[in-house]
Structure 1
């Protein structure tokens, strides 16, 4: 729905003042801050039209108005003036934290940087690791106790204990490992599991059971090592009254951080888009709370998008400041992980 210049100017002024102060904005204040030479009556009429369109709302306790999720959406999509931040300063702060360490450490540092710069919660969806193995080995420890050794393509080694119903000989264990490595090495465990049922009928049942047990355990091992989301600064949100003003909001907030399901869905959706995305509570079904917004951007490794990072905060956040922080951090994380 198209808004004329006056309506856009008033909506922009209202959202910016509400973000700054958190109080409903009256017509008199709008007349003063908008820069428009309009009578209070004209401003009231325009605000009434904006309310009818669903861009602003009037709280019962005040004659002033506040932006609705729809109003925030118009603001961030068409009216927002992104703040020119000192990119050199921000880049130096971020680069300093993302220079050294393992990929996991760099990702954890990125979440901390997002939190410290925004003063909200920083979140990074880690790259998805396929449950691919390079080779496996079976080592007989004692009767019916076998050590499963899984070697990943990058050389990482994981060990797990298998308790079996049958006492396998060392020769049988070598035979089973050789069969899996020759036929399935370099494949994902999930794919191997599907093929095992059809392709191992020529082997004895007890050998088949051993291989199936190894694949099940191997798949679980890979899943255990994949920490899907790294979150930093959750406690910052406890000081945001919009999000922690009542027990229902607090419960939803902590459920989101504990279960991570809705957060993963949101980050997964944003990884399929380009550039910065803004999800506003009350408008996006992916945001679990009406008063919450999430600003995200995808990041890459060697030119391929592998995850998403972002800032979680109230809908009443300074988007013009948070957007460039998220954008710059995504680019610098991409550089750090690619090199």
Structure 2
């Protein structure tokens, strides 16, 4: 719905003032802060129109007005001026300990950065591997006990213990690993399993069994890591009056962090979009509380989207600052994981 310049200016001023102090905004205050030379009576008429269109609401206890979820949506989509933030130390914080840090550590650092910069909760959905492997290796631990080492495309390393019927020689283990890496690297274990039956007939029976066991175990190892997330700064939300003002709100808040399924669904939805997405409570069925908003952005590895990160905070948050925090962190995380 289109608003004229006057209505847009007043709505923008109202939302910014309400975000700043959390108090309903009256016509006289808007007259002072909007920069428009309008009488309080004229402003009241515009506010009445905005209320009728669903952009603002009047609490019973006050003559002022507050933004509705629809008003916040208009604000973030059409009226917001995003700040430029300068955080020169972010990249080093993300890779604290050196650029050789494992992906899990870099992702945990990203969640902490989001939390510390926003003072709300930071969340990162960990990459979905899809059971695709980059490399496998067999290590002989003892007679009939072999350690399977699986390297995923994002650099994560997973281990599985194989108990075999045969005591394989180191040369046989090397031969089996070389065959799998040369023929199946970059595809899923499920696809490798289908191809194994037809392609391994010329090899020794014992070797075939070893490779089939490796494919089964490798698929299980990668599947165990899927659909995870890292959350940092949940306790910050206890200090947000809008989210912790009553027991019902607190229950919803902790249910969201404990169950995680709804949050994972939201992050999965946002991973299919481009750029920063803003989910505002009260308008999105994915957000469990009317007083909560979630700002998200996808991140990738070597140009391919693999997950989503974001900030969870109150609807009354400083979007002009949180949006660039999320955007910059997503780009830096993509760079760090792609190195």
Partners of 1:50 and 1:155 lie apart in 2 by 52
Q: Which residue of 2 aligns with 1:77?
A: 77
Cα distance, 1:282–1:97 mapped onto 2, change above 3 Å:
same
Aligned to 2:244: 244
Structure 1 residues 215 and 327, CA gap change in structure 2 (3 angstroms): same
Deviations 1:160-213 (A, max 9, x none): 366xxxx94558xx89x96x959984442344667899999xxxxxxx999988
5+ residue gaps, structure 2, are 201-207
Q: Note the 1:121-270 alignment, pairs <5 A.
A: 121-133=121-133, 134-135=135-136, 149-152=148-151, 156=157, 158-160=159-161, 168=165, 170=167, 185-186=184-185, 187-191=187-191, 217-226=217-226, 228-270=228-270
CA distance in 1, matches of 2:29, 2:181: 75
Which TM-score applies when normalising by structure 1?
A: 0.81
5 Å-filtered alignment, 1:88-127, equals: 90=87, 92-99=88-95, 100-101=98-99, 102=101, 103-127=103-127
1:203 equivalent in structure 2: none
Using the TM superposition, give the Cα deviation of residue 4 of structure 1 relative to its aligned residue in structure 2, in angstroms: 1.1
Match of 1:337 in 2: 337
CA-to-aligned-CA distance 1:305-327 (integer Å, 9 cap, x gap): 22222111101000111112122
Deviations 1:237-274 (A, max 9, x none): 11001111122221221122222222222222222222
Q: Which moved more, 1:126-135 or 1:99-108?
A: 126-135
2-side partners of 1:183 and 1:320: how far apart? 49
Which sits farther off after the overlay, 100-109 or 181-190? Answer: 181-190
Aligned mates of 1:155, 1:327 — CA distance in 2: 24
1:156/1:110 CA distance change after superposition, 3 Å = closer
- The aligned residue for residue 320 of structure 2 is 320
Write the distance in 1 (CA, Å) between the matches of 2:300 and 2:278: 19
Q: How has the CA–CA distance of structure 1 residues 42 and 198 changed in structure 2, closer, same or farther, with 3 Å as cutoff?
A: farther
Quote the residue 1:290 is aligned against.
Answer: 290
Structure 1: which 5+ residue stretches go unaligned? 201-207
TM-score (norm 2): 0.81
Query: Are the counterparts in 2 of residues 97 and 106 from structure 1 also a CA contact under 8 Å?
Result: no
Partner of 2:41: 41
- Structure 2 CA distance for aligned equivalents of residues 122 and 10 of structure 1: 32
